[in-house]
Amino acid sequence: MMQPVIDRRQLLQRCACVAFGGMAWARYSDAGAQAAPPEMTAREAAPGCWYVEGLSALGSPANANFISNAGFIVTSAGVVVVDALGSPALAERLLAEIRKVTPQKVTHVIVTHYHADHVYGLQVFEQAGAKIIAHQAGREYLHADTARLRLQASRDELAPWIDDKTRLVAATEWIDSRRELALGDTQLVLQPVGPAHTPEDLAVYLPGRKVLYAGDLVFRSRIPFVGQADSRNWIVSLDKLLAFDTSVIIPGHGPVSTEARKDMQLTRDYLIYLRKTMGAAARDMTPFDEAYKATDWSQYEHLPLFGPANRMNAYNTYLLMEHDPE
């Protein structure tokens, strides 16, 4: 694929994700006529492994961009957070939920990928003294105009939750390969699985508890946001995740899963179907509108966010398959 096409696709993906994707919470709770944001409640998915579940919705001022999941793992040597949610105010609330569970400090934050709904809360954890770990492919995004433009747009689209004090935060440590992290009585495996949903995808696996924090490689009970993702490698990455001995999956979006293969299959089958149908249309030079109308979407159209997401996913896959037909 020619480099200008790659750049354009990456730009579109990063700019679309937020739509589909020291600030105290009290500051925002009185924000004029702002609707009350959704409740946040930490739930334990397995011993010591907690999560909060975002809404199956588009990011908006009404939900404070609480549209993704985040997790935290309580160890004997501190708390490890997985993703930081979509605004500083949400990160403050996540910290409050952690304090209800344990007095331990947050020592690390692991970033599964640098989409806005997962990272706009990072500055709260940085200010709290946590070490931030992410895949080094995320560094390129942080230094690109795309990140700056996305944040600028979010200040308008997601005000007052995102404002001129909201900033992008780089990792304290960038990794480029599998990393094992031992904290007290707990071992974590940080496994790169991109490029798939993003170039910097990172999964977190706890072998002692058979728990997998899968990031946005897994969307459960809803249409995934595909955007300009490398869908072919995303399918391969899901196969890699299935190789883990997993009892519980905390996905990037949607409810916790106790049936790993079944629930990964929805994302996997959807990606395969997009590539099959849009790939055939691209090879036959069928105009996109005609191809989309002729495609049978009945097995997916009942899922949340089908309306906002599916046509965009199909169109971007059509463009991808024009340049990468394999």
Question: Could you report the average pLDDT of every consecutive run of 10 residues in the chain (326 residues)?
Answer: 36 43 34 61 98 93 95 98 97 97 98 97 98 97 92 96 96 97 96 94 96 94 84 91 92 92 86 96 96 97 91 94 77
CA neighbours within 13 Å on the CB side: how many for 132?
25
pLDDT at res. 260: 82
Using an 8 Å Cβ cutoff, are 60 and 36 in contact? no
- Residue of 103, 253, 267 whose CA lies nearest to 196: 267
CA torsion 292-201-196-307 (nearest 10°) is -10
Burial-class residue 85 by CB neighbours within 10 Å (0-12, 13-18, 19+): buried
User: 117 and 151 in contact (C-beta within 8 Å)?
Assistant: no
Rounded alpha-carbon distances, angstroms, from residue 259 to 51, 212, 251, 262: 17, 12, 12, 6
**Distance in angstroms (rounded) separating the CA atoms of residues 204 and 145:** 29
Q: In which element (H, E) is residue 286 found?
A: none
pLDDT of residue 242: 86
Q: At what angle do helices 260-283 and 231-242 cross, to 10 degrees?
A: 160
Q: Tell me, what's the pLDDT at 262?
A: 83
Q: What is the pLDDT of residue 221?
A: 79
